C-alpha cells in the first residue's frame, strides 16, 4: 500500500532575518527562508516558491511577476513604500503591516537626537578629555535648553502623536502639527500649514509617510524658512528631505543642527558629502530598531503571516480591496 503523500509546508520568504522567537512561531507551519541579500535579482530568484513574504527591505516593483504562488505580504514595520501595494491589490494579494509596533522606539530616538543636538553631551565629554575642564565648561554657555521651545511635527500618525504627547506633557513644549487632516489630535498640537510649521518651530521632526506629495517636500525653500539655530530631525523616509538643501544650510550655518536616520539612497556611501557637514548626527536607519521593538515586530509579523496562510483576514490589512478579488 502506498503511504499517503504529505504536502510540504508553505514557504515564507524573509527579506532579512527576524527575531528568533518569531521564526520559532512560524517553524511548525512554514518553511522559513531568509534571503542571503536584498538585491532585486536575489529576491526575484527566491520568489517563485514563496507563499508568503515578510518584508524589511525594498521589494522590486516587479516582484509579483515572479511570485505566482504568493498568498500574502506582511510588512515588518509600518511604512508601505517597500511593497508594490497597488500591484498586490490588483492581484488579490493581501498586505498587512504593524502599526504601533516601533512607535515607542522612534519617539525615544527623536528626543535622544534632540538632546544630542541641543545639549551636546558627547561634545562636552570629548572636549573635557581633550581640552580640559575650563574649556569644556565654557562651551556649555552657548547651548540652548529644549524646554520653552516650539517643536513642529510634520506628519501626525502614530509616531507624530507619540512625539507630540511626550513634548507637550513631558517637557511643556509648544507643539505645532501639520497633517492632511488639520486636526489638533485631542489638544496635543496646534494645527498649522507646512510653511508655518517650518517658520515658527525651533525643532522640526519629519514623521510623515513617503508619497508622491511628500517626495522632495522639505526643500531649500522650506529649510530657508527655519529660524536661525533651529534643528531638523528626519525619522520618516530619506526622499522626503532634499539632502543637498540640508547640507547647504548646515555648511552655511543657517541650521543649528540636523539628525538624519534615513537617506534617499541606503546605505549612505562612505564618501557622501553629508559626512563633512558640521552639527550633523547620522545614524543608519535605526530609529525604530531596539531589541524590544524587533521582537515585537517579529512576533507581530509572524502572527499576521500565520493568519494569511490559514486563509484568515489579517488584523492590520492595508488593502481590503484585495480580498474582494
**DSSP characters over 92-123:** T--EE--TTSSHHHHHHHHHHHHHHHHH-HHH
| Domain membership of residue 148 as a residue range | 103-282
- Tens digit of pLDDT for each residue in 25-55? 999 999 999 999 999 999 999 999 999 999 9
In terms of domains, do 243 and 200 share one? yes
- Rounded CA-CA distance 295/137 in Å is 41
What average pLDDT score do residues 90-115 get?
97
Q: What angle do CA 52, 58, 61 make, to 5 degrees?
A: 80
Task: Give the CATH number for residue 251.
Answer: 3.40.50.720
User: What is the predicted pLDDT for the residue at 253?
Assistant: 96
- Residue 85 makes CB contacts below 8 A (sequence gap 6+) with 95, 318, 319
In terms of domains, do 179 and 65 share one? no
What average pLDDT score do residues 241-246 get?
98
**51 closest CA partner among 33, 69, 73:** 69
Number of other CB atoms surrounding residue 291 within 10 Å = 9
User: What is the predicted pLDDT for the residue at 181?
Assistant: 87
Position with higher pLDDT, 78 vs 3? 78
User: What is the predicted pLDDT for the residue at 324?
Assistant: 86
pLDDT band for position 13 (50/70/90)? very high
User: What is the predicted pLDDT for the residue at 182?
Assistant: 84
What average pLDDT score do residues 279-284 get?
98
In terms of domains, do 51 and 168 share one? no
Residue 5 forms part of a structural domain = no
* Helix (H/G/I), strand (E/B), else coil: 291: helix
Number of other CB atoms surrounding residue 75 within 10 Å = 27
- Tens digit of pLDDT for each residue in 115-166? 999 999 999 999 999 999 999 999 999 999 999 999 999 999 999 999 999 9
Query: How far apart are the two ends of the chain, measured CA to CA in Å?
Result: 42
User: What is the predicted pLDDT for the residue at 6?
Assistant: 65
- Rounded CA-CA distance 97/308 in Å is 12
In terms of domains, do 223 and 317 share one? no
Domain count of the fold of the chain? 2
In terms of domains, do 162 and 186 share one? yes
Residue 204 pairs in a beta bridge with: 152, 232
- Rounded CA-CA distance 67/49 in Å is 7
Pairing mode, strands 95-96 and 72-75 = parallel
- Tens digit of pLDDT for each residue in 52-66? 999 999 999 999 999
In terms of domains, do 97 and 129 share one? no
- The answer, yes or no, to whether residue 5 has pLDDT greater than 60, is no
In terms of domains, do 274 and 144 share one? yes
- The answer, yes or no, to whether residue 68 has pLDDT greater than 70, is yes
Contact 193, 178 (CB under 8 A): yes
In terms of domains, do 134 and 243 share one? yes
* Residue 209: all three cell numbers together: 509617510
Q: pLDDT above 90 covers what percent of the chain?
A: 95
In terms of domains, do 18 and 94 share one? yes
In terms of domains, do 18 and 166 share one? no
Residue 1 forms part of a structural domain = no
Torsional sign, CA 164, 165, 167, 172:
positive
Residue 181 forms part of a structural domain = yes
Average confidence score pLDDT of the chain? 96
In terms of domains, do 257 and 224 share one? yes
In terms of domains, do 272 and 314 share one? no
Amino acid at each position: 500500500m502506498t503511504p499517503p503523500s504529505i504536502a510540504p509546508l508553505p514557504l515564507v520568504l524573509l527579506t532579512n532575518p527576524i527575531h528568533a522567537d518569531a521564526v520559532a512561531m512560524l517553524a511548525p507551519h512554514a518553511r522559513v527562508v531568509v534571503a542571503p541579500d536584498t538585491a532585486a535579482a536575489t529576491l526575484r530568484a527566491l520568489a517563485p516558491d514563496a507563499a508568503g513574504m515578510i518584508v524589511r527591505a525594498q521589494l522590486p516593483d516587479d516582484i509579483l511577476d515572479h511570485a505566482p504562488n504568493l498568498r500574502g505580504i506582511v510588512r515588518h514595520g509600518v511604512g508601505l513604500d517597500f511593497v508594490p501595494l497597488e500591484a498586490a491589490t490588483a492581484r488579490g494579494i493581501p498586505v498587512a503591516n504593524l502599526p504601533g509596533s516601533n512607535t515607542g522606539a522612534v519617539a525615544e530616538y527623536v528626543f535622544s537626537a534632540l538632546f544630542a543636538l541641543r545639549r551636546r553631551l558627547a561634545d562636552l565629554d570629548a572636549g573635557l578629555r581633550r581640552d580640559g575642564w575650563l574649556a569644556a565648561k565654557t562651551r556649555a554657555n552657548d547651548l540652548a535648553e529644549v524646554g520653552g521651545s516650539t517643536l513642529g511635527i510634520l506628519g501626525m500618525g502614530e509616531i507624530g502623536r507619540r512625539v507630540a504627547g511626550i513634548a507637550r506633557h513631558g517637557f511643556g513644549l509648544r507643539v505645532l502639527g501639520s497633517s492632511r487632516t488639520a486636526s489638533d489630535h485631542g489638544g496635543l498640537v496646534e494645527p498649522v500649514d507646512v510653511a508655518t510649521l517650518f517658520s515658527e518651530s525651533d525643532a522640526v521632526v519629519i514623521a510623515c509617510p513617503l508619497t508622491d506629495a511628500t517626495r522632495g517636500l522639505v526643500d531649500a525653500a522650506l529649510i530657508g524658512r527655519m529660524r536661525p539655530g533651529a534643528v531638523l530631525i528626519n525619522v520618516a523616509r530619506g526622499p522626503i528631505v532634499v539632502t543637498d538643501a540640508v547640507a547647504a544650510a548646515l555648511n552655511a550655518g543657517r541650521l543649528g543642527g540636523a539628525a538624519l536616520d534615513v537617506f534617499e539612497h541606503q546605505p549612505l556611501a562612505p564618501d557622501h558629502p553629508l559626512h563633512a557637514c558640521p552639527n550633523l548626527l547620522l545614524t543608519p536607519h535605526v530609529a525604530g530598531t531596539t531589541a524590544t521593538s524587533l521582537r515585537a515586530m517579529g512576533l507581530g509579523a509572524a502572527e499576521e503571516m500565520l493568519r494569511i496562510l490559514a486563509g484568515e483576514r489579517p488584523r492590520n490589512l492595508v488593502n481590503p480591496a484585495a480580498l474582494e478579488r
